[in-house]
């Protein structure tokens, strides 16, 4: 399974299904995510105090609460970027 960036809407769908009582495997299959990924975010929800039995909130309130669970932009560098680091100065000279 390839890497797909997790978005706010994806987290909302996982949370919505979890609150509806769906099993982890069913959520993972429906959202086309790995079970370990879904489990990771369910544990994150629990760490933020979100539980399936909690009062409902709309998606905008949810997005504010779970913003820090989303991966940052710089978390996954491009695969070849480390290979170019020793040549940074040379590349800068070439681009002038």
- Structural domains of the chain, count: 1
Does residue 2 belong to any structural domain of this protein? yes
Does residue 84 belong to any structural domain of this protein? no
Does residue 77 belong to any structural domain of this protein? no
Mean pLDDT across the stretch 42-71? 83
Q: Which residue blocks in 2-95 are alpha helix, DSSP H?
A: 8-19, 24-31, 35-47, 59-66, 81-84, 88-95
Q: How far is CA 77 from CA 1, 49, 67, 71, 82, in A?
A: 19, 31, 21, 12, 9
Residue 2's CATH number: 1.10.10
Does residue 87 belong to any structural domain of this protein? no
What is the residue range of 6's domain? 1-72
Does residue 46 belong to any structural domain of this protein? yes
Residues above pLDDT 90, as percent of the chain: 35
**Band of residue 77 on the pLDDT scale cut at 50, 70, 90:** low
The pLDDT value given to residue 68 = 79
Does residue 30 belong to any structural domain of this protein? yes
List, for residues 6-36, the tens digit of each pLDDT value: 888 999 999 999 999 999 999 999 999 999 9
Does residue 94 belong to any structural domain of this protein? no
Between 29 and 58, the more confident residue is 29
């Amino acid at each position: 399974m390839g890497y797909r960036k997790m978005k706010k809407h994806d987290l909302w769908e996982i949370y919505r299904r979890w609150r509806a009582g769906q099993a982890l495997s069913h959520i993972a299959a429906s959202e086309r995510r790995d079970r370990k990924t879904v489990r990771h975010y369910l544990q994150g929800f629990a760490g933020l105090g979100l539980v399936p039995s909690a009062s409902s909130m709309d998606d905008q309130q949810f997005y504010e609460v779970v913003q820090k669970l989303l991966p940052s932009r710089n978390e996954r560098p491009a695969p070849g970027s480390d290979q170019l680091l020793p040549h940074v100065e040379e590349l800068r000279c070439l681009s002038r």
